[in-house]
Structure 1
Amino acid sequence: MQMTRLLDAQGLEISHEGHRTRLKWHRLRKRFADPLFSAEVMAEGFAAGASMELDLRVRADGGFVVLHDRTLEGETTGHGPIAKKSIGDLGDIRMKEGDRPLILSEDLAAMMQSTHPAALLQFDMKDDYEAIGARGIEHLAAHFREIAASVIVSAGSLDLIVAVKEKLPHLLRGIDPTDKLYNIWQANGWKAVEMELRADLRGPTEPDTIYLHWRLILDAAREGLDMIALCQDEGKRVDAWTFTLKDPEAGFSDEEWRSFQALMALKPDQVTTDEAPATERAWSRRMAD
């Protein structure tokens, strides 16, 4: 049981009992102290072969901007709903952290022309298909059909992922049924969750990866439902999101360690975190004890 030697302490992966779990950099953060959606961190990840995630919001002109919130106020110096802004409206707006320009989808396409072959970038689409529409899908096709990097497009909206599949069949696809499954569990129990998850795995999105909240995975496992094994048996990968150490310097608290150990025992393909190198270091320290 040893850490990967490649790019040690780069926050790329953990190896455990013969299984490799990638550590995905959440919102382009290698560390929580990094600025949100950092082009510099993304470039570092592309060079190292990291798995990374960013959020995309649709603009009024059908293009996209790398932001999480529906409106500009929270993350930027701008104001108002992003869906009402065209590319020309965003040029003078800056990220609140570090006074950096916004990353537009056009910028992304240019940055992704040359990357490490192992690099994987998740486009987490924060709007539904109704908001993005055929024009947004056309924009993705125009800008990301020829990129060298591996991209996986994910969304809660199944209609959107089906539309991506039809227009860009070569891109990997992911779905996140977490909210829906939580609601089903509360209303009808774990058997109903299992049936719904199976239906999603076999459904028209034909997903490569299933994104599931790590607490949902552990809650289900305690009741005898191994959601990760269920997905992997169907040939799907599982990303457990978002496990971030409260104190990255100190490593795992005892409670965090119990949860993370239980999660790793279920062998997820990927864990989303805001503290990738610290998680890798903390795991190594605990396993050496």
Structure 2
Amino acid sequence: MSISTVSDLQIEYLDHPVRLKWHRLRRQLTDPLFSLDVMRAGFSLGASMELDLRVRADGGFVVLHDEALDGETTGRGRITEKSPDDLRDARMRDGDRALTFSEDLAAMLQSAHPDALLQFDMKDDYETIGEKGIAHLAAHFQSMNASVIVSGHCLDLIVAVKEKLPHLLRGIDPTDTLIDIYRQGGLKAVEKSLLAVISGPTEPDTVYLQWSLLLQAARDGLDMVSLCRSEGKRVDAWTFTLKNPAGGFSDAEWHDFSALMALKPDQITTDEATATARAWSNRMAG
């Protein structure tokens, strides 16, 4: 086995580069959730990063995962009912920080490294976001140095993004559906369903698939990564995070991660990019 480059941005293995995507703007789990400092660092380096967006009452967005403020912030109530003014006094519980709005992201993206990739994982569906939300994205993300990819479970939303913001990349995550199909209909049904969704009206650039699903399917005889790549789609394998970052891979983790790398996904999502790159280098060094 050979390796050419390793960093917390990318591992190159057998001449195939695999980006390490920083999940929820974390290079490591000790970083604050959705850290602007981490995002700034990623923008300067050209990293691939992911954050979650929830729509506000005015059609703009705030960087949060949950539909209500109560868990991640000091605020209370549903985000869809809140204006920007309602949200300005709320603080992130992790680090006592102000919330980040989509307007902030648009401004920061202007100075990002051209290799940077920022994933907007949309947690609301198209019915909730509506034309007002799509118009907000169009108004604020028309031109930027870095790439933005909009992803979500709601296919109607991704189609709307394609129609109104064709310059943005698009991603879909059919994992939950495929797991159900796997249980009920077997591998052939999974293959048929995956082909149908990636060739459907969303016209995705990237398909997000759970790493354990990819490995199980490969063991049973279906290389889902190769299937997607044969259709011109990139694959993101989510979310592989070391249980003991300081200690590196356990034997079981090494077995799974090396098998995942052998499938040659385009990207692996992780909460521990720095530790994963270090652990890979240590294992490859013997």
* TM tier relative to shorter chain: over 0.9
Partner of 1:16: 13
How far residue 147 of structure 1 moved from its aligned partner, in angstroms, is 2.0
Work out the CA distance in 1 between the residues paired with 2:145 and 2:254: 37
Superposed counterparts of 1:21-60, under 5 Å: 21-60=18-57
Tell me if the contact between 1:3 and 1:284 (Cα under 8 Å) persists in the aligned partners: no
**Residue 126 (1) aligns with residue 127 (2):** no
How far residue 126 of structure 1 moved from its aligned partner, in angstroms, is 0.5
Q: Which amino acid in structure 1 is aligned with residue 264 of structure 2?
A: K
How far residue 230 of structure 1 moved from its aligned partner, in angstroms, is 0.1
| 2:255 aligns with one of 255, 258, 265 | 258
| 2:97 aligns with one of 87, 100, 114 | 100
User: What secondary structure sits across from 1:36 in the alignment?
Assistant: coil
Partner of 1:109: 106
Work out the CA distance in 1 between the residues paired with 2:270 and 2:283: 18
What are the Cα deviations for residues 199-222 of structure 1, in whole angstroms up to 9, with x where unaligned?
Answer: 011111110000000011011111
Identity %: 69
How far residue 2 of structure 1 moved from its aligned partner, in angstroms, is 2.4
User: What secondary structure sits across from 1:122 in the alignment?
Assistant: strand
Superposed counterparts of 1:262-281, under 5 Å: 262-281=259-278
**Residue 236 (1) aligns with residue 233 (2):** yes
Work out the CA distance in 1 between the residues paired with 2:101 and 2:41: 18
Work out the CA distance in 2 between the residues paired with 1:216 and 1:82: 32
Structure 1, unpaired ranges of 5+: none
| 1:151 aligns with one of 131, 148, 152 | 148
| 1:205 aligns with one of 202, 206, 218 | 202
**Residue 63 (1) aligns with residue 81 (2):** no
Tell me if the contact between 2:113 and 2:145 (Cα under 8 Å) persists in the aligned partners: no
Structure 2, unpaired ranges of 5+: none
Work out the CA distance in 2 between the residues paired with 1:285 and 1:122: 29
Work out the CA distance in 2 between the residues paired with 1:149 and 1:267: 24
Q: Which amino acid in structure 2 is aligned with residue 89 of structure 1?
A: D
Q: Which amino acid in structure 1 is aligned with residue 107 of structure 2?
A: A
Change (3 A) 1:29 1:3: farther
How far residue 22 of structure 1 moved from its aligned partner, in angstroms, is 0.2
TM superposition outliers: structure 1 runs of 4+ over 2 Å: none
Work out the CA distance in 1 between the residues paired with 2:56 and 2:10: 34
**Residue 89 (1) aligns with residue 90 (2):** no
What are the Cα deviations for residues 163-216 of structure 1, in whole angstroms up to 9, with x where unaligned?
Answer: 000000011100000011111111111111110100011111110000000011
Q: Which amino acid in structure 2 is aligned with residue 240 of structure 1?
A: A
User: What secondary structure sits across from 1:216 in the alignment?
Assistant: helix
Tell me if the contact between 2:64 and 2:72 (Cα under 8 Å) persists in the aligned partners: yes
How far residue 3 of structure 1 moved from its aligned partner, in angstroms, is 4.5
Partner of 1:287: 284
Deviation larger for 142-151 or 62-71: 142-151
Normalised TM-score (structure 2): 0.98
Partner of 2:213: 216
User: What secondary structure sits across from 2:98 in the alignment?
Assistant: coil
Tell me if the contact between 2:4 and 2:15 (Cα under 8 Å) persists in the aligned partners: no
Q: How many equivalent residue pairs?
A: 285
What are the Cα deviations for residues 26-77 of structure 1, in whole angstroms up to 9, with x where unaligned?
Answer: 0000111000001110000000010000000011111100000111111100
User: What secondary structure sits across from 1:183 in the alignment?
Assistant: helix
Work out the CA distance in 2 between the residues paired with 1:169 and 1:2: 36
Q: Which amino acid in structure 1 is aligned with residue 3 of structure 2?
A: Q
Q: Which amino acid in structure 2 is aligned with residue 199 of structure 1?
A: A
Work out the CA distance in 1 between the residues paired with 2:162 and 2:28: 32
What are the Cα deviations for residues 94-152 of structure 1, in whole angstroms up to 9, with x where unaligned?
Answer: 00011100000011111111111110000000011111011100000001012222100
Work out the CA distance in 2 between the residues paired with 1:214 and 1:3: 23
**Residue 196 (1) aligns with residue 189 (2):** no
Deviation larger for 34-43 or 179-188: 179-188
